[in-house]
Amino acid sequence: MPSSARRLAALAALIAVLASLATAGVAMAASGTITEADCAQGTIKDQTSGQPISRARCEALVGRNVQLASTGFDLRPVLLGGVLCLFGAAAFGMRRRGATRLT
């Protein structure tokens, strides 16, 4: 495979990975709809106290869009590390190679 084709393939792979990482940011700030199953399980919690809300209050909120809770795990360092690894791999893969000497 010629080096220009390799570079093009590496660039396309890098763009594809970065695009998928960019859409992960949207998923981290997602919203959802409260359902009857959420009320039955008691998974809906008060934003200030962190305690489950009453069933009556939960049923009044069924069908409303809410912001989903954070998992507490910050993904930014993981994403940054992945991007740095991709750029490092691209730099090593795209560097020019000199002619090898035959002795």
User: HEC states along 15-79?
Assistant: HHHHHHHHHHHHHHCCEEECCHHHHHHCCCECCCCCCECCHHHHHHCCCCEEECCCCCCCCHHHH
Task: Give percent above pLDDT 70 in the chain.
Answer: 71
User: For 56-70, how does the pLDDT look when each residue is reduced to its tens digit (9 = 90+)?
Assistant: 988 898 988 877 766
> Does residue 49 register a pLDDT over 80?
yes
Task: Give percent above pLDDT 90 in the chain.
Answer: 0
d(CA 38, CA 44): 6
CA angle 88, 89, 94 (to 5 degrees): 100
Q: Which residues contact 26 (CB under 8 A, 6 or more apart)?
A: none
d(CA 99, CA 57): 74
Higher-confidence residue: 98 or 83?
A: 83
